[in-house]
């Protein structure tokens, strides 16, 4: 019976020692993971800080450029108003072609003008002739 008690005590002691060793291994692994996480966290913080500095520098450069542009007088005048496709010569040619019986599409094609402009010219010309 003494041997059974000794055997049971040996098994229990073995389990206890195994549990203690397993606990120490788990603790060591947790410490290694914590160190790795901390190192990774520090690396990310450095990257964030570098990005922040670069962004601040870019914003300062843009602000300086904007300040310089605001100080410069306006070098460019506003856009010129769009010119009509009709000059006096094309107007005369369009009316001459219309008197010869050409269609607005044909007149627009031959004078390289938009068809709507030719039609408008002919309509205005008709209105003017009615009031004369």
40 phi and psi, to 5 degrees?
A: -65, -40
What span, in angstroms and rounded, lies between the C-alpha atoms of 58 and 64? 10
Longest C-alpha distance within the chain, in Å?
141
| Residue 117 near residue 86, CB atoms below 8 Å | yes
As given in the structure block, the two tokens for residue 31 are: 């410490």
What span, in angstroms and rounded, lies between the C-alpha atoms of 120 and 118? 5
The full set of domain ranges for the chain reads 1-72, 88-130
As given in the structure block, the two tokens for residue 37 are: 């996480």
Instruction: From first to last of the 132 residues of the chain, give the pLDDT tens digit.
Output: 788 889 889 999 999 999 999 999 999 999 999 999 999 999 999 999 999 999 999 999 999 998 888 887 655 555 665 555 567 788 899 999 999 999 999 999 998 889 999 999 999 999 988 887
pLDDT for res 101 = 92
pLDDT for res 8 = 87
């Amino acid at each position: 019976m003494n041997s059974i008690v000794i055997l049971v005590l040996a098994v229990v002691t073995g389990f206890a020692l195994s549990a203690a060793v397993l606990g120490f291994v788990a603790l060591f692994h947790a410490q290694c993971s914590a160190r790795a996480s901390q190192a990774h966290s520090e690396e990310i913080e450095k990257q964030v800080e570098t990005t922040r500095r670069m962004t601040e520098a870019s914003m300062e450069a843009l602000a300086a450029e904007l300040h310089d542009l605001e100080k410069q007088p306006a070098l460019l005048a506003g856009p010129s108003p769009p010119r009509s496709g009709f000059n006096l010569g094309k107007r005369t040619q369009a009316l001459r072609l219309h008197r010869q019986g050409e269609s607005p599409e044909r007149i627009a094609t031959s004078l390289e003008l938009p068809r709507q402009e030719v039609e408008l010219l002919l309509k205005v010309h008709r209105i003017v002739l009615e009031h004369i």
